[in-house]
Amino acid sequence: MIDFKRLAQLRPTFAILSRLVDYPTTDTFSATTRQQLAADRALAQATRKQLLGLFDQLAAPTYLEQQTNYAQLFEMNRRYTLYMSYYKMTDSRERGTVLAKLKMLYEMFGVAEATSELSDYLPLLLDFLACGDYLDDPRRVDLQLALSVIEDGTYNLLANAAADSDNPYIKLIQVTRNIIGSCVKAEVRTDA
């Protein structure tokens, strides 16, 4: 069951995470972004501290090195992809259905894709959670699809990335997964 109050609290966090897990631009690791992260009270202090440490690690190299590090990990490496449904479904018809459903979900909640990326791209999913107009919508339970795609995709990405678990981007994916997990409440069964 989705904790919509928590999801709403984390909207600014999702916007920051979306930028951090995407291909670096000149603004990605700006002082403003770091300040926003440091001021984010929706995060536990330990999580905020961990994210700030990862931010600093990722920001330390030159801009060209940041881009190279990202490209070598996610774009030139077949084991790691930020297309979250790819791990489970590769290029199957089932994946096409999930991509279409995600696209409809974005449109249903007022988010138009202004990118050529597929709808299961992790930064796009996070951006949707940050910007979508779903908080007071009775159809908001449909967000479970987006959360499930992120959950499955990050689980498989992290399982594949065991050898690179010290990489700050892989650690960032783990923290992102944990933050998404904090938006889901375990359902209590009363029929047991």
Structural domain spans, the chain: 4-181
Please give the Cα distance from 175 to 157 (Å, whole number).
13
**106-119: average pLDDT:** 80
**Over 80: is that where the pLDDT of 125 sits?**
yes
What own/partner pairs with CB < 8 Å and gap ≥ 24 does 72-79 have? 73/164, 73/167, 73/169, 73/170, 74/169, 79/160, 79/161
* pLDDT reported for residue 111: 81
The string of pLDDT tens digits covering residues 25-57 is: 999 999 999 999 999 999 999 999 999 999 999
pLDDT band at 192 (very low <50, low <70, confident <90, very high): low
pLDDT band at 112 (very low <50, low <70, confident <90, very high): confident
* pLDDT reported for residue 139: 87
CB 120 within 8 Å of CB 141: no
